[in-house]
Every structure is written in C-alpha cells, then in structure tokens.
Amino acid sequence: MNGRSGVLAVRGPVAPRRLRLPAWRSHLHGSDLIYSILFIVPYATLFVAFVIYPIAYAIWMGSNPALYAELLSDPRYVRAAINTVLFVGLAVNLQMILALLLSGFFMRRRRWIRALLVVYILPWTLPAVPAYLSFHWMFVAYPQGLPNNLLEALFGIEGPFWFDQKWLALGCNIVAHTWKWMPLWTLVLLGGRMSIPQDLYDAADVDGASPYQRFAYITVPLLANLYLISTLVSTIWTFGDYAPVLFVSGGAPAFGSEVVSTLGFHYALDYANPPLGVAAGLSVLPLLIPAVILLMYRLKRTEVQL
C-alpha cells in the first residue's frame, strides 16, 4: 500500500474512471455538439467577463516597474509583507495541525462527542464580519475585555492592551482566523479518517501496535495527501483573507499588523492610488502561484475532494 496515491487508494485502483470510454463522443456532433456548447456558454461568459478581464486589467494596472520600487521603499509595505508571510505561515499550520489532532478526538464513538462536534462547527457557519467584530471588542476593551477579565479572575494577572504591540495584534488576528476556520478543516480531515478502513487498525491491534504506531504508520500515510491538499487550499485562501486584519486589529498599532491585502485597500482607497494597491496584491503572486500549480497537480492525481 502506497500512501502517496491518496485516501482512496485503499479502495483499489482509481484508474477505471479515467479509462472509461466517452459515452457520447462517438456521436457528439450536430445538435448535440450545439447543446453541449450552449451549456458551457454561461460559465465561459462569466469566466471571461469576471475572471480573465479583471486579471488582465490588474496586470495592466500593475505593469509599471516603478510601482514596485515605490512599494519596496515604503516601510509599511515591507512590514505588511513580513506580516503576511507570518500570518499565513502561522495561522495555516497552527489550524491544520490542531485540526488533524482534533479530527482524531472526534473519531470517538460517543454520543456526547457527536453533540460536541455539532457545537464545534458553529464558528465556521457564522458570517465573518460579526464573528471578527466580536473578537475586536474582546481584545480592544482595555483593561476589561473578556480575555482580560478571565486572566484577572483565573490567574490574577492584569492583561495587556492587545493592540498596543504588533506581535500581540498579529497573534490576536491569528487566533481569530484559527477560531473561524479550524472547524472546517477538522471536518474535512474527519471525513478522510473515516474513509480509512477499520480493518487496518484491527490488524495493527493484532500485531500489538501502540496508539502512536497506529497513528504514525496508518493514519499519517493515508491522510497525507488530503492533508497536503487542505493545507494548500487553506494557504491560498489565507493569503487573500483581509477580514481578520481589517476587523480584529484594524491594522493597529499604526500599520503594525497590516497584511498585504489590507494595505492594498489603504493604498487604493485612503491614498487614492489604485495602481499601487493592485501592485501590492500582485507582489505576492510569486509565493501564491507555486501553491496553485502544486494544488492542481495534486487534484489531478487524486479523487479526494474538499
């Protein structure tokens, strides 16, 4: 058994689907061809008008090399670029590792664990703006927000003013983002774990495997591909996710926790310089495009879905 071919490899070869002969192609001509083209026209129109055109427009707006020189000479941009890498790297890995462990916890067959799962999904279903605003109020109210009141009540320490230091503010944004998205990835990985046949674990038990060995030699290899795909998708989404920064810390203190996507709006809206805002967005593409290509390649090879 080879873990690289994904979760479903355990169910036998995936190949038949690809080999199946096209059913209609032999007679896909005349009116059928017209129908099949007609069916694709709405999406093709949408794609050209609202994906290709804006992307081309963005590239055209951000094509002046002087814009990038201007970005690099702006300390706010450099700060935001570092913050973006930290925010994406920390938030994505933190929530994926926790989701992997939590999905194991939710595999227990207990009634109350099922009930807990239902509550645990709640953050993902809540709209982003209300959820992040709640985090904003919790952290901004100094010295009496909910976290600070808890710190005082439980440990007797006076909490900090969370948005006073850029590291704390960045941390608050990461916590809020993790709170919102970790349930989704837990659910996805839980689905992956449930598709691993119980026989494998039973066989391991017969062989006297420890829980750690079951995890390391069965769960990890069989879940690796799904985990990688989920991490890539999460990375791509988080790069563009402006909401935690915009609503939780608001970029405080003084652009200290800003990321590239929010700084882009400030350039475009507050400083009335849309091309610079677009250039800021385009400047992270060298990091993003490899992730997208890797994702496409991975999706092509497996049947795993989100």
Partner 1 sequence: MKEAAALAFAVVLLIWTLAPIYNMVMVSLDSKGDVFSNDIWPPHPSLDSFWIVLSEGYWYLQYFWQQFGNSIYIGAATTFLTLLIGSLASFSIGRMRLKYGWLVSNAALLTYAIPASFLAIPFYSIMLKYGLANNLWSVIFAEVTFATPYAIFIFQQYAVSIPIELDDAARIDGASPIQVYLRIYLPLMAPALVAVGTYALLLAWNEYLYQFMLLSSQRSMTVPVALAQFLNSDEAPWNYMMATAIIYAIPPVAIYYAFRRRMTAGLTMGGVKG
Q: Within 113-132, which residues bind partner 1 (CB under 8 A)?
A: 113, 116, 118-123, 125-131
Q: Residue 174 Cβ, how far from partner 1 at the closest point, in Å?
A: 14
Q: Are 158 and 191 in contact (CB under 8 A)?
A: no
Asked if 278 touches partner 1 (CB under 8 A), the answer is yes
CB atoms within 10 A of CB 148: 20
CA 219 to chain centre: 22
Q: Residue 213 Cβ, how far from partner 1 at the closest point, in Å?
A: 18
74 phi, psi to nearest 5 deg = -95, 115
Asked if 306 touches partner 1 (CB under 8 A), the answer is yes
Q: Are 151 and 263 in contact (CB under 8 A)?
A: no
257 membership: H or E segment, kind and range? none
Q: Pick out residues in 35-64 that bind partner 1 (CB under 8 A).
A: 35-37, 39-40, 42-44, 46-47, 49-51, 53-55, 57-58, 61
Q: Residue 243 Cβ, how far from partner 1 at the closest point, in Å?
A: 6
The per-type count for the chain, helices as H runs and strands as E runs, is 17, 0
Residue 225 sits at the vertex; the CA angle it makes with 175 and 231, to the nearest 5 degrees, is 20
Q: Residue 180 Cβ, how far from partner 1 at the closest point, in Å?
A: 9
Single residue of 66, 69, 107, 194 touching partner 1 by CB under 8 A = 194
Stretch that binds partner 1, among 32-40, 71-79, 158-166, 198-206 (CB under 8 A): 32-40
Stretch that binds partner 1, among 4-12, 78-86, 200-208, 213-221 (CB under 8 A): 4-12
Asked if 7 touches partner 1 (CB under 8 A), the answer is yes
Asked if 112 touches partner 1 (CB under 8 A), the answer is yes
Q: Residue 184 Cβ, how far from partner 1 at the closest point, in Å?
A: 8
In terms of CB distance, is 244 or 256 closer to partner 1? 244
- Rounded to whole angstroms, the Cα distance separating 196 from 224 reads 12
Both tokens of 288, joined, read 């993003």
Asked if 24 touches partner 1 (CB under 8 A), the answer is yes
Q: Pick out residues in 198-257 that bind partner 1 (CB under 8 A).
A: 226, 236-237, 239-243, 246-247, 250
Single residue of 4, 13, 28, 205 touching partner 1 by CB under 8 A = 28
Single residue of 85, 90, 287, 292 touching partner 1 by CB under 8 A = 292
Single residue of 78, 203, 254, 285 touching partner 1 by CB under 8 A = 285
In terms of CB distance, is 217 or 242 closer to partner 1? 242
Asked if 295 touches partner 1 (CB under 8 A), the answer is yes
**25: helix, strand or coil:** helix
102 phi, psi to nearest 5 deg = -65, -35
In terms of CB distance, is 145 or 171 closer to partner 1? 145
Residue 257 sits at the vertex; the CA angle it makes with 251 and 261, to the nearest 5 degrees, is 70
For the chain, the C-alpha Rg in angstroms (whole number) is 24
Which residues are CB-neighbours of 44 under 8 A, at least 6 positions away?
none
- Rounded to whole angstroms, the Cα distance separating 213 from 235 reads 29
